[in-house]
């Protein structure tokens, strides 16, 4: 039997025992079943060593498949089991079926449900990223946290000035060194000045932290040849910058695990939901599953891409023309973002940079074919296909 780093599904007939694990911080509820009458539930400490010692003692020579839900404990248990050449699935909790009328939930019952569904071949495992991709995820998440706090601090400063009836120094609302210097000189009561200085200090802290993390991400990726190559390929796409490329690589993981061209769009929630019956097809808004921060970044990249790539601009226009005017721009740009994920798939799978075809030319976008910058920022929350 072949063991791989990531197992997406199993063939139940190839295994004798099915172990469902409901894992928490200190322990794991474990249920073992077979194809017959075996049913054994117990609680073990959260330790892969003790788990393997137990199965080796009670099920010697048996082919065992393990499964547990992805959660705050990460993928350490999966790594330990795979290192010992055991088959282990990590599944998304949202994809584990549960009876709607069931009002009793315990760790033991959850582990039983996992083992029964594993035996029935009903579970599909998620892609477990390698160590370097996980470390990159930590850095990307940290940078996004700092930039989110940076934006929040700017809003708090402006809210304070608005409450006190004080105009922001820059008429255009730009946050530059001159505007911050003028903030420090604004006449205001002492307690307001104290709060303003505190917020300015917080602003500098998050700005410097985001810059430091971004520098660390660059260093980390430069020292890893595979990460460096993947980011370089994604950055060749029109509109996709280095920050979005690094975030995409962190979330996608090993490009060899990407199975088909539609997978990335579905992973990012850029495909339309559907509730159809009989001959009637009823498609609704996009699913919005997955990483919303990365989805927002790719939608922003799409706005830049339609200005740089004539082919994408023509595609944007074709979708725009078929939609009601009120929502045409939003629907069209989400369609472009989904097409951008298809191009990401191609450049990663074929390991070649994207080249804009010079023979295609289209006229620049008109004002009616675009939306305001503020609407662009909100597009990912209102997009429908």
| pLDDT above 60: residue 373 | no
| pLDDT above 90: residue 283 | no
Q: What is the CATH number of domain 12-119?
A: 3.30.420.10
Confidence of residue 280 (pLDDT cuts 50, 70, 90): confident
C-alpha to C-alpha distances, 185 to 86, 169, 173, 179, nearest whole angstrom = 65, 10, 17, 10
C-alpha to C-alpha distances, 331 to 33, 176, 271, 317, 380, nearest whole angstrom = 48, 34, 11, 11, 10
Angle at 323 between CA 318 and CA 326, to 5 degrees: 125
Concatenate the DSSP letters of all residues of 256-269 into one string. GG--STTHHHHHTT
pLDDT 10s digits, 141-164: 999 999 999 999 999 999 999 999
The closest alpha carbon to 21, from 58, 62, 75, 60, belongs to: 75
Confidence of residue 370 (pLDDT cuts 50, 70, 90): confident
3-state secondary structure of 18: strand
pLDDT 10s digits, 237-252: 999 999 999 999 999 9
Rounded to whole angstroms, the Cα distance separating 243 from 221 reads 12
Q: Do residues 253 and 301 make contact, with C-beta atoms less than 8 angstroms apart? A: no
Q: What's the order of all strands across the beta sheet hosting 27-33?
A: 39-45, 27-33, 17-23, 64-69, 87-91
Q: Do residues 33 and 115 make contact, with C-beta atoms less than 8 angstroms apart? A: yes
Kindly list the domain boundaries of the chain, sorted by start residue. Answer: 12-119, 131-223, 228-382
Mean pLDDT, the chain, rounded, equals 90
pLDDT 10s digits, 45-68: 999 999 999 999 999 999 999 999
| pLDDT above 70: residue 99 | yes
- Per the DSSP assignment, residues forming a β-bridge with 40 are 32
The pLDDT of residue 384 is 36
Percent share of the chain, pLDDT over 90: 77
The pLDDT of residue 274 is 82
Phi, psi of 37 (to 5 degrees): -105, 0
| pLDDT above 80: residue 138 | yes
């Amino acid at each position: 039997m072949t063991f791989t780093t990531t197992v997406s599904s199993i063939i139940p007939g190839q295994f004798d025992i099915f172990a469902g694990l409901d894992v928490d911080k200190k322990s794991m509820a474990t249920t073992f079943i077979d194809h017959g009458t075996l049913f054994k539930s117990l609680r073990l400490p959260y330790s892969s060593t003790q788990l393997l010692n137990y199965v080796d003692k009670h099920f010697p020579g048996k082919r065992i498949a393990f499964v547990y839900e992805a959660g705050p404990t990460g993928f350490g248990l999966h790594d330990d089991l795979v290192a010992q050449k055991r088959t282990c699935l990590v599944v998304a909790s949202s994809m584990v079926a549960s009876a709607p009328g069931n009002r009793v939930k315990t760790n033991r019952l959850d582990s039983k449900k996992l083992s029964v569904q594993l035996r029935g071949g009903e579970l599909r495992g998620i892609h477990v990223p390698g160590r370097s991709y996980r470390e990159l995820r930590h850095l990307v998440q940290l940078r996004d946290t700092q930039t989110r706090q940076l934006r929040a601090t700017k809003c708090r400063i402006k809210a304070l000035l608005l409450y006190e009836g004080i105009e922001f120094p820059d008429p255009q609302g730009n946050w530059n060194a001159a505007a911050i210097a003028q903030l420090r000189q604004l006449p205001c009561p002492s307690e307001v000045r104290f709060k303003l200085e505190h917020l300015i200090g917080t602003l500098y802290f998050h700005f410097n932290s985001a810059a430091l993390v971004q520098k660390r991400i660059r260093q980390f990726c430069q020292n890893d040849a595979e990460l460096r190559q993947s980011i370089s390929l994604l950055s060749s796409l029109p509109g996709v910058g280095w920050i979005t490329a690094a975030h995409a690589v962190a979330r996608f993981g090993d490009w060899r695990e990407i199975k088909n061209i539609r997978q990335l769009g579905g992973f990012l929630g850029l495909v339309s939901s559907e509730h159809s019956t009989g001959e009637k097809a009823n498609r609704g808004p996009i699913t919005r599953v997955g990483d919303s921060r990365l989805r927002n970044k790719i939608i922003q990249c799409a706005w830049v891409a339609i200005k740089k790539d004539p082919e994408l601009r023509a595609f944007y226009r074709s979708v725009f023309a078929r939609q009601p005017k009120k929502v045409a721009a939003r629907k069209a740009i989400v369609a472009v973002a989904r097409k951008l994920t298809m191009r990401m798939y191609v450049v990663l799978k074929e390991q070649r940079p994207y080249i804009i075809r010079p023979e295609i030319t289209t006229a620049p976008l008109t004002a009616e074919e675009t939306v305001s910058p503020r609407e662009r920022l909100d597009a990912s929350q209102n997009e429908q296909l």
